[in-house]
């Protein structure tokens, strides 16, 4: 597949929170260790793919953290 010409460099998603979570992803930008260390060597297409993966990881993390609403509303006690 041919790469699309980019007029501007793809900026790093680093937010300055450089700590790994329990799965090995950065808590700030959600990149893996390899993705962080090889960012400068990647083509723009590879960087765009990493950004897409980071968005997926963020959505998955947000879905997991969202509490499930109760199935039935609880009626308060009248006594």
Across the chain, which has 79 residues, the per-10-residue mean pLDDT values are 69 92 93 96 95 96 81 70
Structural domain boundaries in the chain: 14-64
pLDDT confidence of residue 8: 84
Helix (H, G, I), strand (E, B) or coil at 19: coil
- In the block, residue with structure tokens 């700030």: 28
Find how far residue 31's CA is from the centre of its chain: 7
pLDDT confidence of residue 74: 72
Q: How far apart are CA 66 and CA 52, in angstroms?
A: 21
pLDDT confidence of residue 67: 76
pLDDT confidence of residue 4: 62
């Amino acid at each position: 597949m041919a790469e699309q010409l980019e007029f501007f460099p793809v900026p790093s998603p680093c937010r300055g929170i450089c700590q790994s979570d329990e799965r090995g992803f950065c808590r700030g930008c959600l990149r893996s260790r390899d993705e962080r260390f090889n960012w400068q060597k990647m083509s723009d297409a590879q960087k765009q793919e990493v950004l897409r993966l980071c968005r997926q990881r963020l959505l998955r993390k947000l879905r997991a953290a969202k509490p499930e609403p109760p199935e039935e509303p609880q009626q308060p006690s009248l006594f």
